[in-house]
Structure 1
Amino acid sequence: MRDANNKRRRGPLYREAQWSGWLFVSPMVIGFMLFLFFPMAMSLYMSLNEWPLLGDHRFIGLENYSEVAADKLFWQVFGNTVYFTAGLVPLNIVLALLLALLLSKPLRGIGLFRTAIFVPVMTSLIVWAIVWKYMFATDSGLINQLLLMLGVQGPSWLYDTKLAMPAVIVTSVLKNVGLNMVLFIAALQQVPRSLHEAAVIDGAGKVKSFFNVTLPMITPTVFLTVVMTIIGSLKVFGQIYVMTKGGPSNSTKVLVYYIWEKAFKLFQLGYASALAYILFIVVLLLTLLQWHFRKRWVFHESEA
């Protein structure tokens, strides 16, 4: 039997199938090499150099990384990034799950509500941020105008160091919550109805049924959305650039915006590359950590 398999692998049809397979995947492989691996290798090399926009670069080893570690602004920016992620991820996941629970039932006209919530996902991020920037305007903004109708003097949302980041977080959540909602709706529709019927027979109410039946069954989707949302929150840039420019007093300056500022405003390309690699390592470690602990809370059908 082994001899027959070996003869097939040495045969012309097997070799032709191999070459055909490599030919079909070659565009993807070349794309990854050109647009992923080569830029990553080049960025690593630049991070080890003093690389001005004009003039020759000079190899300085890990000096850029040591400067980052001693940079007080970097640690403030890193704290802002953690703050943004810690505010956005739970709010996004919880709101998406609540919307999915409300909109997962096959009622007449429910598709209209699903579409309305999903439309911001397809809307240009820059357009969305501009609209919300005007809505958060101090004097003529819609939000403050509504508060004024209630007899409340609205604050300067985007010019207050304590309110600017929450305003950006809310804007970001409303922009992308529709995507996670759709994923949760798909997951909820896959939960067997017989499990809910069994829970009702056992005397479980809606709350207990959700936490003991529904939530464990959709944990794979919860895991996926949490990972995607965390990675997306660490890469936030457009909202910050349009709405606050990192202000006031650097209170909304996040890591990607800081990288852009160092690279394309101050032209410190080597330093910016070191920052980019630090962000890459942070994202990689967080993803590996979540992947490591997934078995403790992600439900598998084989466990049922």
Structure 2
Amino acid sequence: MYRWKKKIAPYLFVLPNLIIFSIFIVFPALFGFYVSFTEWDVLTSPEFIGLGNFIKLFQSADFWAILSRTLIYVFSVVPITFGLSMVLAIILDRNIKAKGFFRAIFYLPTMLSFIVIGVSWRWILGNNFGILNYLLDLAGMAPVNWLTNSTTATIMVIFASVWARVGYFMVMFIAGLQGIPGVYYEAAEIDGASKWQQFRHITFPLLKPTSLVVVVLSTIQAFKMFGLIKVMTTGGPGDSTTYLVQEIYQQAFQVGDMGYASAMSVMLFLILGLLTIVQFKVSNRGGNAYE
């Protein structure tokens, strides 16, 4: 009896979390997968149509245009976030004055919701009421259509996305840097290695596990970025900042085509899964960082 209780006790401790996870994650995901094979407007019963939504998806020029914009956004945000957060971490890991203050300043945006960040940048970059254009006007310069021009709107969305998350990943890199033994750098200095050589042969290879986590998490976050863009540009001007998640929302809750929206959600899941597998494969191909 005691052995049985000892075996079952750990599962009882995780059971509440497992129930919550199943109710809010597993069951909705499975139901969404089922809905992707149906035609459903929420008000009527789902009608099974097989692969109809996926065929419609692959034949839609709008979907491929949205996917292209999404990939441009993601492959802009992720490298910039990765590089900037690593540089900030390396700088703020050194013994410099007020490094705690600067760490807090860069980390502060990560404590704000994406809605708050989107509203803030909209007030800063607005054409008629924006703070930045007001300052340009005081300086005698012409105002800039920050959020009503497709090119500048895309650039500003990328900038705001990086600004919102770079501090979070900076902290992760700082933790990774503090896990590197100092004796490695001492030995490198004795051998006459430059700072660049130390970074190339010690810092960067030993940050490989942290780098993988940062790339995977930042990729997932970029693909599912919704609140910031929805509030900041509402997907405009036109549809220049309408990405895959925004389109899923529009199809589901504005058009009312839940089946088509669920099919796009399944495609997003497959894309994220494929990119994550590729990232792990590329990381493992490099070998062990400690070898």
Q: CA deviation at 1:149?
A: 5.5
Distance in 2 (alpha carbons) for counterparts of 1:210 and 1:144? 41
Whole-Å Cα distance in 2 between the matches of residues 211 and 243 of structure 1? 39
| Structure 1 letter corresponding to 2:243 | V
What are the within-5 Å matches in structure 2 for residues 119-138 of structure 1? 119-138=108-127
* Structure 1 contact 68–275 (Cα < 8 Å) conserved: yes
Structure 2 residue aligned with 1:36: 25
Partner of 1:219: 208
Which whole-Å CA distance do the structure 2 matches of 1:137 and 1:261 have between them? 24
Of the three residues 47, 67, 74, the one matched with 1:78 is 67
Contact 1:96 1:178 in 2 (8 A): yes
Which one has a bigger Cα radius of gyration? 1
Structure 1 residue 16 displacement after superposition: 1.2
Cα RMSD, aligned residues only:
1.6
In the superposition, the TM-score normalised over structure 2's length comes to: 0.95
Question: What is the aligned partner in structure 2 of residue 171 from structure 1?
Answer: 160
Q: Is contact 1:216–1:298 with CA below 8 Å preserved after alignment?
A: no
State the partner residue of 1:7. none
Q: Provide the rounded CA distance (Å) in 1 between the counterparts of 2:213 and 2:199.
A: 19
**Inter-partner Cα distance in structure 1 for 2:216 and 2:202:** 22
Give the secondary-structure state (helix, strand or coil) at the position aligned to 2:150: coil
**Secondary structure of the equivalent of 2:127?**
coil
Aligned to 1:245: 234
State the identity as a percent: 36
User: Could you tell me whether the CA contact under 8 Å between 1:138 and 1:156 is conserved in 2?
Assistant: yes
Q: Separation in 2 of the partners of 1:299 and 1:138?
A: 51
Q: 1:157 aligns to what?
A: 146
Structure 2 runs not aligned, ≥5 long: none
- SS for the counterpart of 1:21 is helix
Aligned length: 291
How far off is 1:150 after superposition?
A: 5.6
Which aligned pairs between 1:1-304 and structure 2 lie closer than 5 A?
12-148=1-137, 152-297=141-286, 299-301=288-290, 303=291
TM-score (norm. length: structure 1): 0.91
The one-letter amino acid of 1:21's match is: P
Q: Unaligned 5+ residue runs, structure 1?
A: 1-11
For 1:243 and 1:130, locate their aligned partners in 2 and report how far apart those are by CA, in whole Å: 6
Counterpart amino acid of 2:144? P
Which residue type is aligned with residue 211 of structure 1?
R
- Which amino acid in structure 2 is aligned with residue 30 of structure 1? I
Question: Runs in 1 of length 4+ with deviation above 6 angstroms?
Answer: none
Aligned with 1:143: secondary structure?
A: helix
